Structure 1
Amino acid sequence: MINLITLKELSIKKQIDQSSVFREILQIAWLNQFYRLPAGRRVWFKGGTCLKLLYGSNRFSEDLDFNTKLTSRQIAAAVNLATGKLQTDFPGLSVKPLKSIAGIAHKLYLPTEFSFQPLTVKLDFSLREKALLPEKQVISTDLPVLSVTLINHFNPREILAEKYRAILKRKKGRDIYDLWFLLNQQVPFDENLIRKKLRLYQEKYQPEKLIKRIVDFEEQILIKDVNQFLPKTDRQILSRLKPLLLQKLKYAAKT
């Protein structure tokens, strides 16, 4: 396990707290173990942490999100096996199932020397659909963790479509930030793909509805939700994020 001196140096370098750095190390290690398993072939990594680890987003995250067609028993077996394989490198690491309204959820717990509270990583598995645009890639990282396994994951266009849907269904500043990041990276605004994602929830494609959700989103809630997960040097953008995103959407969605 990483020593405290190295962790502190990385925290200073990345302008983020030690827990976020260490959590990302654990996330990468866990993903590498999980995707070595046969079950990993039927699980697709997605969401904000996927953007961070595979597409260069600067937003750290507490969760790992997946889509899969595996059963709850198959998921639990794979999660327990991957976690067990990490217990030598991460002493005290454990995993527990969580109650979930939709899908399957587990949570990793890791005691650390720098906090009274254990480090946690939530694992969320959606059972509704498989990836429409699956890809495979190795996580490239400058952190002290081995990363050599191919990770099945969503294409950024599909993540964008799900972020569009997420903004309509819940109120989380991280979805606003991630949509801005994707559009800023010139990821195509795929109307057909968005329509497919909305259809699952009996929603119609109405860009003006998305615009209204963003306009009505309280800036202080957005800042509170995202601020702690960004490096200190990148936090100033949050006060300008809504107008920046709306400007991007004006051209991307042709509203």
Structure 2
Amino acid sequence: MLTPEGLKEQAELLKLPLNKQRAIVREYAQTIILRAIYQTDFAQKIFFMGGTALRFAYGLKRFSEDLDFNAEKLSLADFKEILASCSKALEKEGFTCEISQKERTSLLIGQLKLTNILQNYKITPLKSEKLMVKVEINRPVWHMETESAVVDRFGYLFSILLMSKGALLSGKVDALINRFRGRDIYDVIFMLQRKFPLKVELKQVILERIENINPNELMRLSKQVEPFLVDEEEKDFVVNAKTYIGKLLTQYE
């Protein structure tokens, strides 16, 4: 377990805002859990995706709460074994943990509730408050394009497998259409700025979705994502999403 001073030093190395202590502690726990997952026998068929994957692998400047994956042929029994490994890794660092899991069609959903981490770092005065990290694994039937990356955070250095850049962007475009939250707009802009591969047919889909939002709604969505941004001034990306996205999509012509 990192001491409070050690955690602060690591946060400074990662250029994290020290006033967001809860987010820093969550990210520390996520790092321990992610490393544990990729040390299991199932590592070669689990592929990281979503906002936390963008953050850990590509430097997304937004804190993300869950760990999301795609996987090939993973059973509920396998998932329980993975979560048990995560719990052991947390306990090795001095963090007690409660585990729960369930299966819903193609989705495996796990919750790791850390019962003492917030108290150890004096994030809360409440003895009963827990930090929950959700682990979700989808089991798609289609072929998955994947890549590898190295994670270097909080004193840990390890390799991971994740969905390809093109797949990550396609997944976020899908979220933009079907869920539509401030974080989805922010993440799409982040990926377009870095020229993640984009399917030709998705360009018009993105433009139409953004053009149909009124400015007041964009302002509301910017406030929704603001607390999770490393640099809160970047909420402007959401406020002026039409301008940013329109400009960035010209790179794909």
Counterparts of residues 90-239 of structure 1 (less than 5 Å): 90-97=94-101, 100=104, 103-110=107-114, 111=116, 112-113=118-119, 114-115=123-124, 116=126, 117-129=129-141, 132-141=144-153, 143=154, 145-148=155-158, 150-191=159-200, 205=201, 207-217=203-213, 218-238=217-237, 239=239
Instruction: Give the Cα–Cα distance (whole angstroms) in 1 for the partners of residues 186 and 77 of structure 2.
Output: 34
Structure 1, unmatched stretches of 5+, are 192-204
Maintained 8 Å contact 1:131/1:154: no
Maintained 8 Å contact 2:52/2:64: yes
Structure 1 length normalisation: TM-score?
0.82
Q: Structure 2 vs 1, CA of residues 125 and 221 (structure 1 numbering), >3 Å: closer, same or farther?
A: farther
SS in 2 for 1:23: helix
Instruction: Report the Cα offset of residue 62 of structure 1.
Output: 0.3
> 1:194 is matched with which residue?
none
**RMSD of aligned C-alpha atoms?**
2.5
Instruction: Give the Cα–Cα distance (whole angstroms) in 1 for the partners of residues 39 and 48 of structure 2.
Output: 14
Instruction: Give the Cα–Cα distance (whole angstroms) in 1 for the partners of residues 101 and 22 of structure 2.
Output: 22
Instruction: Report the Cα offset of residue 10 of structure 1.
Output: 6.0
Number of residue pairs aligned between Structure 1 and Structure 2:
237
- Establish whether residue 68 from structure 1 lines up as the match of residue 71 from structure 2: yes
Structure 2, unmatched stretches of 5+, are none
Instruction: Report the Cα offset of residue 132 of structure 1.
Output: 2.4
SS in 2 for 1:87: helix
- Establish whether residue 52 from structure 1 lines up as the match of residue 55 from structure 2: yes
